[in-house]
């Protein structure tokens, strides 16, 4: 998890947003737990399109009673999961034919991963 240090005297107002105190000098983000109906709808939308932006994301967030950031981060994490599953399926198919798969990721894909590595709400 992500931990942030804060001054000793800033505890009077308590943690803001999805953060909770994990001790006298550390704050920890509370993990978002999605309801099954929310996950089902998010997965349906992901099957239609892997990128959700603008008013579509705002509307989906409002419909599911989530923040826009929660929807954005869910889509980022889901794309990472999808890419990992795709790579594993590809490796499994290649291994069936005796083709040895290199351990490193394809260099053409590496530039796409940078945007999707964030899994924390800010």
Rounded to the nearest 5 degrees, what angle is found at the Cα of 95, between the Cα atoms of 43 and 112?
Answer: 45
Residue 3: its H or E element: strand 3-5
- Looking at the whole model, is its pTM more than 0.85? no
* Domain range annotation of the chain: 38-67
Residues 4-43 have pLDDT tens digits of 444 444 444 444 566 666 666 678 878 889 999 999 999 9
Q: Average pLDDT in the 56-78 region? A: 97
**E strands present in 10-90:** 19-21, 26-29
Triad 121, 35, 18: Cα angle to 5°: 25
Q: Please tell me the distance from the alpha carbon of residue 46 to that of residue 71, in angstroms, as a whole number.
A: 11
Condensed to tens digits (0 to 9), the pLDDT of residues 86-112 reads 999 999 988 888 766 555 555 444 444
């Amino acid at each position: 998890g992500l931990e942030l240090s804060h001054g000793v005297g800033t505890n009077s107002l308590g943690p803001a947003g999805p953060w909770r105190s994990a001790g006298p000098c550390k704050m920890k983000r509370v993990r978002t737990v999605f309801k099954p109906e929310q996950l089902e709808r998010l997965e349906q939308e992901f099957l239609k399109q892997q990128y959700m932006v603008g008013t579509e994301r705002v509307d989906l967030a409002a419909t599911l009673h989530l923040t826009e950031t929660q929807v954005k981060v869910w889509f980022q994490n889901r794309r990472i999961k999808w890419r990992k599953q795709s790579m594993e399926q590809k490796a499994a198919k290649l291994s069936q034919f005796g083709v040895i798969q290199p351990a490193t990721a394809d260099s053409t894909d590496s530039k796409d991963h940078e945007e999707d590595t964030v899994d924390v709400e800010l």
